[in-house]
Amino acid sequence: MAIRYELIKTCKQSGARLGRLHTPHGVIETPIFMPVGTQATVKAMTPEELKDMNAQIILSNTYHLYLRPGHKLIEKAGGLHKFMNWDRPILTDSGGFQVFSLGPLRKIREEGVEFRSHLDGSKHFISPEIAVEIQNSLGSDIMMAFDECAPYPADYDYVKNSLERTTRWAKRCKDAHKNTDQQALFGIIQGGMYKDLRKQSAEEIIGLDFPGYSVGGLSVGEPKDIMYDVLEYTTPLMPKDKPRYLMGVGSPDDLIEGVIRGIDMFDCVLPSRIGRNGTAMTSRGKVVIKNASHTESFEPLDTECGCYTCKNYSKAYLRHLFKANEILGLRLLTNHNLHFLLNLMEEVRQAIREDRLLDYRKDFFEKYGYNL
């Protein structure tokens, strides 16, 4: 077995889980946020900078690396860890979600998905077997099954067909995956916003016995209260002795609400993407750095933050960098936002240790507000 999940304790106040995930590239403390490095780089950050902010695991994408530079090239380079100079754990998403985001550029068949590259329009085909083969070449610690993420809204029959195909594909992924000692393959639960379909998917996927499970198909445009409700229904159906991953979720409020509902792992492009656009997440809500109100603010982005950016630079300077289109500005905001979310998860872990996560949530929202 490539990975082992150790449940250390559950928070007496909230039921949230504190754990450790042992992987071939080291131990991850959970709950954890995973910065996204779609193209074998967390945009604008070096691996040293990621380590300085205590990133324990990053996520990368099968679809993008298959198209460019090609998984065979990365295999030749000695695998994704070596290629990108990152020696801590890596999780790769299967490409399912990315291919389905292509809209009219793709065609779903039982065998797999035919699509055109977003780069040059060339024709490609990814099946469950091919998604596994690509991720085997990349050498990620955790691989994801090839699934279909139904859009929101979608009608009942569509979601039912789609989750049943996702189960058949999950089985094919499992059969195609051979080196289970070095790489763990996670199953993905779908079922849209329909509880009985979530139950069906959970039972089918868990029945296939994967070393970890994710909840897919959420945070696809539905209102937050629906997402929390579906999540709250789904996590109790999942085994307690395996890690649980909520895919594509990463706003501060969703991380806290997800952990309270029993989730251990999260990933999202949000902190890095909005950072490059000049928006910072802070303990007092979001800061849009180009706003005129920051022109003469010689304070850091967040007086409570210990990141490199906040220790060394003022909002006035960061605003200047963004107004002048200087590349350092987006590096500094990316660094701050990722540090902010990683630190938030460290605080969440500490609150679980001390059985006070509901108190922590209350304090957090009182300061932070609900503006992201």
Which residue of 44, 50, 113, 149 would you call a contact of ligand PRF, by CB under 6 A? 149
Q: Give whole-number Cα distances, 262 to 10, 55, 255, 266, 301, in Å.
A: 9, 21, 11, 12, 31
Which residue of 33, 66, 97, 245 would you call a contact of ligand PRF, by CB under 6 A? 97
The question of whether 302 is a catalytic residue gets the answer no
Q: 60 — phi, psi (to 5°)?
A: -135, 175
- What is the rounded radius of gyration, in angstroms, for the C-alpha atoms of the chain? 20
Residue 254 interacting with ligand PRF (CB under 6 A): no
Dihedral-angle region of residue 333 (phi above 0 means left; psi in -120 to 50 means alpha; beta otherwise): alpha
The question of whether 93 is a catalytic residue gets the answer yes
Give the integer Cα–Cα distance in Å for 91 and 96. Answer: 14
**Sign of dihedral through CA atoms 206, 55, 92, 277?**
positive
Residue 333 interacting with Zn ion (CB under 5 A): no
Which residue of 5, 45, 147, 341 would you call a contact of ligand PRF, by CB under 6 A? 147
DSSP E strand stretches across 88-235: 90-93, 106-108, 113-116, 123-126, 142-144, 184-189, 213-215
Residue 216 interacting with ligand PRF (CB under 6 A): yes
Residue 219 interacting with ligand PRF (CB under 6 A): yes
The tokens describing 226, both together, are 């629906």
Peptide linkage before 31 cis (omega within 30 of 0): yes
The item of Zn ion, ligand PRF, none sharing an interface with residue 333, based on CB under 5 to 8 Å by kind, is: none
Whether residue 268 contacts residue 253, with contact meaning beta carbons closer than 8 Å, is answered with no
The tokens describing 142, both together, are 């955790």
**Burial class, 141, CB count within 10 angstroms (exposed 0-12 / middle 13-18 / buried 19+):** buried
Closest CB to ligand PRF among 219 and 251? 219
SS3 332: helix
Residue 305 interacting with Zn ion (CB under 5 A): yes
Residue 220 interacting with ligand PRF (CB under 6 A): yes
Specify the pairing of strand 279-282 against strand 285-288. Answer: antiparallel
Which residue of 35, 37, 96, 212 would you call a contact of ligand PRF, by CB under 6 A? 96
Q: Which of the following is catalytic: 141, 254, 267, 302?
A: 267
Q: 370 — phi, psi (to 5°)?
A: -125, 40
Closest CB to Zn ion among 67 and 342? 342
* DSSP state at residue 13: T
Q: Which of the following is catalytic: 93, 141, 254, 264?
A: 93
How many chain residues bind ligand PRF (CB under 6 A)? 15
310 marked ligand binding residue: yes
Peptide linkage before 153 cis (omega within 30 of 0): yes
The item of Zn ion, ligand PRF, none sharing an interface with residue 329, based on CB under 5 to 8 Å by kind, is: none
173 marked ligand binding residue: no
Q: 93 — phi, psi (to 5°)?
A: -80, 155
Which residue of 44, 307, 330, 333 would you call a contact of Zn ion, by CB under 5 A? 307
Closest CB to ligand PRF among 97 and 194? 97
Which residue of 71, 319, 331, 336 would you call a contact of Zn ion, by CB under 5 A? 336
Which residue of 62, 94, 140, 283 would you call a contact of ligand PRF, by CB under 6 A? 94
The tokens describing 265, both together, are 């792992």
217 marked ligand binding residue: yes
Residue 68: CB minimum distance to Zn ion, A: 32
Residue 310 interacting with Zn ion (CB under 5 A): yes
93 marked ligand binding residue: yes
Annotated binding-site ranges for substrate: 93-97, 147, 190, 217
Annotated binding site: 93-97, 147, 190, 217, 305, 307, 310, 336
Q: Which residues are catalytic?
A: 93, 267
Which residues are documented as binding site for Zn(2+)?
305, 307, 310, 336
Give the interface with ligand PRF as residue ranges (CB under 6 A).
93-94, 96-97, 144, 147, 149, 188, 216-220, 247-248
